[in-house]
Amino acid sequence: MSGQNDFPTEFDFIIVGAGAAGCVLANRLSARSNLRVALLEAGQADNTPRIHVPAGTISLYKSRKYTYQYYSTPQKYLNNRRIHVPRGRMLGGSSSMNSMIYIRGARSDYDAWEAMGCTGWGYDAVLKYFMREEDNHLHQDPHFHGTGGELVVDQPRDPLGVSRLFIKAAEEVGLKENTDFNGAKLDGVGIYDVTQKDGKRLSAYRAFVAPVRSRPNLHVLTGCKVVSLVTDGKEVQGVTIERNGQFHVLRARQETILSAGAIGSPHLLMSSGIGNAHELLAAGVPVVADLPEVGRNLQDHVDGLVTIRSDSASTLGFSTASLSSVVPSPLQFLLKRKGWLTTNYVEAGGFASTRYAKDVPDIQFHFVPGYRSHRGRLFEWGHGFALHTCVLRPYSRGSIRLARDGSRNPDIDFNFLSDERDTHVLLEGVKLARSILRASPFDAIRGKEMAPTANIQTDDQLIEYLRASASTVFHPSGTCRMGADDTSVVTPDLKVRGLKGLRVADTSIMPTLVSGNTNAPTMMIGDKASDMILAEAV
């Protein structure tokens, strides 16, 4: 261990991960001035326009500086392809690189958690946290929305006209416009609400931590890799970190809280000897606690794409015709927060039901008002538009395990489409997406369908296309499952079973994946966790 430190080493609470949940926790816990709080982030500061300018998000997905460049194991039901899984590695975590869409999910998602024995996690109980955090600028229904919170919820500053065409096209095939996906109903299509302030990204860090970073009891440590938990028998006493090439032990007088995400939190548990005993021993890790379900129950929204070429410069894209829009865009953004740099690339979308749905929609659309490469490239010359379709409540379950190659890196196996029910829902969803893009509002700008292509028409052909191309919309969850049963990883108060001084608060605790983007629900989890923690704090 190193000698002299330039930071304290003993705290009341240590929070691992400065993402959506961790930042909310840091804000709420440090509001009590007698509590010393450490917020640990392996990445660096967020001081780059690539994060704060909405259109910069596209430059972050392959960044090694700001993003963990994970890849899944070969996916058996997706032609053994490895799926790219980028996760945020900077202050704000993935909330500093996502598409800023503000979606909470369906009421039934949370009521289902309550029915599973997760007391206090029903919709009516969690709604107050969504509302407490929110500063709604859209004058939406006050029964569902809050004002005065840290998180600004607004509309995109300058959505492209082609995004409005999507809404008209969806209406033509029977879907209705919805101006508030977080209100009384989820179904329908519309322009998505976003977490932006003054036209710039508002990450969890910028909303909850940056304004209070001067609190003397709040210590934010960047470039701080947590190597393992420090345990004494069945009690977690803190963490071992690596920072600037030196190792340090940080002690938590009260609790250590893992908010490292659905990949990071189970990975740290297993690296510290907490998980399936047989697998830990096989990976060469001494067993501290045998919790077989750590890393199990991995869920994500599997996604299929329909992408169309267009000759119209009204869509996002690079061409001679678009130069008149591209060249002035930096100045437009600086002066008026207008123009191309305001886009989050998925300005519109919505929720719909296939024939397999029951009471709530089972698919979600993300409409791209520009050409989405059928070859997986970030940029393609020319223009077009595209529609992503994902399965909202997948039945397939995957896992996070420690690699057995000696690296102890996380092996990520989504096991996508292992349950045929997901295949059927995705198939129907992509067929509906095709019908929307073939509707008359797009007639004037529609070109060739590049994927799946006109040659792919039958159900069997479409399924083969999906196995060759389906991916994720980056919503991993469920790997430290919350529950009342003895096999769950955490209890409904988010304490890790069989251990003292340790909780998990992030998407990993979700018993089942919510129906939509996970940023807002993750902040809610951090907020609710803070109340439970403060109720027991000394």
pLDDT per residue over 209-237, tens digit each?
999 999 999 999 999 999 999 999 999 99
**Tell me: the pLDDT tens digits for 39-63?**
999 999 999 999 999 999 999 999 9
CA angle 118, 119, 123 (to 5 degrees): 90
Query: What CA–CA distance (Å, rounded) separates 456 from 242?
Result: 52
Query: What CA–CA distance (Å, rounded) separates 155 from 179?
Result: 10
Q: What is the mean pLDDT of the chain?
A: 96
**Average of per-residue pLDDT across 445-465:** 97
Catalytic residue among 219, 366, 388, 475: 475
The SS3 call for residue 40 is: strand
Q: Could you give the C-alpha distances from 169 to 162, 173, 191, 368, in angstroms and in order?
A: 10, 7, 13, 14
Query: What CA–CA distance (Å, rounded) separates 134 from 508?
Result: 23
pLDDT of residue 378: 67
Rg for the chain (alpha carbons), in Å?
23
Query: What CA–CA distance (Å, rounded) separates 483 from 504?
Result: 13
pLDDT of residue 158: 93
Query: What CA–CA distance (Å, rounded) separates 88 from 97?
Result: 6
Query: What CA–CA distance (Å, rounded) separates 474 from 87?
Result: 8
| Ordered structural domains, the chain, with CATH | 1-46+90-154+192-225+246-255+288-294+480-503+511-538 (3.50.50.60), 157-191+296-476 (3.30.560.10)
Q: Indicate whether 325 pLDDT > 90.
A: no
Query: What CA–CA distance (Å, rounded) separates 90 from 42?
Result: 7
Q: Any idea what DSSP says for residue 448?
A: -
Give one DSSP letter per residue of 110-171, joined into a string.
Answer: HHHHHHTT-TT-SHHHHHHHHHHHEEESS---TTT--SSSSEEEB--SS--HHHHHHHHHHH
Q: Indicate whether 379 pLDDT > 80.
A: no
**Average of per-residue pLDDT across 11-17:** 98
**Tell me: the pLDDT tens digits for 466-505?**
999 999 999 999 999 999 999 999 999 999 999 999 999 9
219 among known catalytic residues: no
Map tokens 């816990």 to a residue: 29
Name the percent of the chain in helix, strand, coil, to the closest 5: 30, 25, 45
Q: Which amino acid is at 534?
A: L
Q: Which range is least confidently modeled, 278-287, 323-332, 503-512?
A: 323-332
230 is in an annotated binding site: no
Query: Measuring CA to CA, which residue among 372, 369, 509 is closest to residue 451?
Result: 372
Return the axis-axis angle of helices 20-30 and 519-536, rounded to nearest 10°. Answer: 30
The SS3 call for residue 384 is: strand
Do 508 and 91 form a contact (C-beta atoms < 8 A)?
A: no
Q: Any idea what DSSP says for residue 74?
A: P
**Average of per-residue pLDDT across 392-408:** 93
